[in-house]
Amino acid sequence: MKVAILSQDASLYSTRRLLEAGLERGHEVQVIDFLRCAITLHTQSPQLWHKGQRCPSFDAAIPRIGPGKAVYGTAVVRQLEVMGVPVLNSADAIACARDKLHCYQQIARKGLSVPATGFTYACKDIETVLSRMNSKAVVIKLLKGSHGIGVVLAETLQTARALFEAFRGVDADVLVQECIDEARGVDLRCFVIGNQVAAAIQRKGPPGEFRANLHRGATAHPVELTEQEEAIAVAAAQAIGLQIAGVDLLRTQQGPLVLEVNASPGLEGIEKATQLDLAAQVMVFLEQWIANG
The enclosing H or E element of 107 equals helix 100-109
CB contact at 8 A, 251 and 172: no
Model pLDDT for residues 39-50, shown as the tens digit of each residue:
999 877 899 999
- pLDDT value for 216: 62
Question: How confident is the prediction for the chain on average, in pLDDT?
Answer: 92
pTM: 0.92
Average pLDDT over residues 181-209: 89
- Which amino acid would we find at residue 214? L
Model pLDDT for residues 264-274, shown as the tens digit of each residue:
999 999 999 99
Model pLDDT for residues 64-96, shown as the tens digit of each residue:
998 778 899 999 999 999 999 999 999 999 999
Model pLDDT for residues 121-166, shown as the tens digit of each residue:
999 899 999 998 877 889 998 887 666 677 889 999 899 999 999 9
Q: Which domains does the chain have, with CATH numbers?
A: 2-96 (3.40.50.20), 103-113+182-287 (3.30.470.20), 117-178 (3.30.1490.20)
- pLDDT value for 146: 63
Secondary structure (H, E, C), 218-264: CEEEECCCCHHHHHHHHHHHHHHCCCEEEEEEEEECCEEEEEEEECC
- pLDDT value for 145: 66
* pLDDT above 80 (res 192): yes
